[in-house]
Amino acid sequence: MMKKLTVLPIAALMTGMLAGCGGGTTEDNATTGAAGNANAANANAAETAADNGAANAGTETGKNDASKKIVIKYWYAFGDKIEEAKLHMVQTFNESQDKIEVVAEHQGNYDDLHAKVQAAFAAGDAPAVSDLEIASTGVFARSGMLEELTTYAERDKEQLKLDDFNPGLMGNAYVDGKLYGLPFMRSTPILYKNVTMLKDAGLDPAGPKSWTELEEYARVLKQKGKSAMTMPVDIWFYEALVAQSGGSMLSEDGKQATFNAKEGVEPVTFWKKLADEGLIKIPVGDEAGATADKDWANQMSAFKFASTAGVSGALEIAKGNGFTMDTSFMPANASYGVPTGGCQLVITSKSSEEEKEAAWEFLKWMTSKENTIYQHKHVGYLPTRLSAVDSDELKAHFAEFPQYKVAVDQLQYARPRPMENAYPEIAKIIKESIEKAILDPKTTPQDAMNQAAEKADKLLSK
């Protein structure tokens, strides 16, 4: 059953919140649990209210006859602190004006959300607004599911201030030169460190700053009976290490795989070496991400790669478990490098014109300077607007909690993710091939990536 929420007290949404973000192998390392579902009475009341609102909505325009409001649906991904922030912003938007009511509906993780939006679109019942993981923008836009936002942005350029969005986060907002999304909860992977463990092992907590240093730290930690890192084979992390090695995932025209070149094989070789020597742990399966988070939280591993979206939760975990936590850039190889991640807000194309205008107002509000400051401080996602980064509020926040600023500084080394239609399937092929190279002693990293590239090229040629 989908969980529907309109206006709920924030106190009710906070009931039963976990200490921090959960595990997973998605970019945002967040659980799909719903923060607002801790209390069954609240959940049932919310669903009843939403259903009543939907029943009263006009079939053509989305108008609610009783309130004369335009009612639109917003489908979103992830629970816990991420959901709490989204629902707070939706509630505040609904209370800020009397013309539009947004009904927010939780849809699981990104894969769940995307599948449900596609099914609803085919059935003629898609939400007006949805989160959309950035690498999937090309598929959705080229299939005709998304409303192009170029005209809206030009019309409202003084209010929107498109140039205020961080340029490093705009690469996936455009498809074939046209604007389809506004940066919302955006992220990069960063390195999370247990400073207490490092100091106890006689290691400088300012490091490791390179792959070489990471290996050196891992050897020292192993001698102390600790693991340097528990790490799932995550396509996002792999993309980062390929960028750090000076490589690319696909050719510039997007028609051929390039990850089987030297720069793409080197990360797999590095991971396999560390795993074979017991310097890091690489779990596989659906619980791999959760295992990595648990090992770090329980001080079995000193490091973890994870999204900046987890900073707030990680600080709470460290405090609760009695250790000091810090963050830093992912260690460099030839250079630093990371992919961006997270989602943008999009408008579906089959909504009525009235709903599209209401959705656009909601998009502008959700991506405002004030809301990007709020969601950054509450969760840890990147502040998407330059004006937010330069604000006195965030400058004071960074001074008190420098862990949040690392991802902002790392953006200078960021690159967009591939958006070819076949890339989501290619990403799964790459992940499986890396796991095979690490687990199967008869499969070399080069052979594994060559096999993945051959499959990828066939998909890209379709």
Region at 63 (left for phi over 0; alpha for psi -120 to 50; beta for the rest): beta
Residue 130 CA to residue 74 CA, distance in Å, equals 5
**What secondary structure letter does DSSP report for 180?**
-
Same domain, 311 and 394: no
**pLDDT tens digits for 104-147?**
999 999 999 999 999 999 999 999 999 999 999 999 999 999 99
Q: Is the peptide bond before 331 cis (omega within 30 degrees of 0)?
A: no
Give the up-direction half-sphere exposure of residue 403: CA atoms within 13 A in the CB hemisphere: 25
Q: 8-22, 289-303, 339-353 — which is least confidently predicted?
A: 8-22
- Which DSSP string corresponds to 69-111? -EEEEEEE---HHHHHHHHHHHHHHHHH-SSEEEEEEE--SHH
Q: Which of 167, 1, 185 is nearest to 82 (CA)?
A: 185
Residue 170 in domain: yes
Whether the per-residue pLDDT at 38 is higher than 90: the answer is: no
Instruction: Indicate the burial class of 124 (C-beta count within 10 angstroms; 0-12, 13-18, 19 or more).
Output: exposed
Mean pLDDT of the chain: 87
Whether the per-residue pLDDT at 39 is higher than 70: the answer is: no
Residue 417 in domain: no
When pLDDT is cut at 50, 70 and 90, the band that residue 367 belongs to is: very high
Contact 91, 46 (CB under 8 A): no
Residue 328 CA to residue 208 CA, distance in Å, equals 9
Q: Which two tokens stand for residue 360?
A: 């656009």
Whether the per-residue pLDDT at 8 is higher than 80: the answer is: no
Same domain, 8 and 146: yes
For residue 19, the model assigns a pLDDT of 28
Residue 416 in domain: no
Same domain, 309 and 372: no
Same domain, 202 and 268: yes
Residue 131 in domain: yes
Same domain, 224 and 162: no
Residue 85 in domain: yes
In sequence order, which residues have a C-beta less than 8 Å from that of residue 84 and are 6 or more positions away? 10, 13, 14, 17, 35, 36, 378
For residue 5, the model assigns a pLDDT of 41
Same domain, 109 and 25: yes
Number of structural domains found in the chain: 2
Backbone angles phi, psi at 358, to 5 degrees: -65, -40
Same domain, 40 and 166: yes
Residue 34 CA to residue 256 CA, distance in Å, equals 40
- Which DSSP string corresponds to 257-298? B-TTSHHHHHHHHHHHHHHHTTSEE---STTHHHHHHHHHHT
Contact 314, 192 (CB under 8 A): yes
Q: Which of 148, 106, 96, 182 is nearest to 348 (CA)?
A: 148
Region at 331 (left for phi over 0; alpha for psi -120 to 50; beta for the rest): beta
pTM here?
0.82
Residue 82 in domain: yes
Same domain, 334 and 348: no
Same domain, 346 and 449: no
Same domain, 35 and 102: yes
Same domain, 19 and 164: yes
Give me the helix-helix angle, 423-439 and 235-244, nearest 10°. 80
Domain that holds residue 379: 3-187+341-411
For residue 462, the model assigns a pLDDT of 87
**pLDDT tens digits for 329-353?**
999 999 999 999 999 999 999 999 9
Residue 79 in domain: yes
Same domain, 432 and 362: no
Residue 240 sits in a domain of what CATH number? 3.40.190.10
Residue 321 in domain: yes
For residue 417, the model assigns a pLDDT of 93
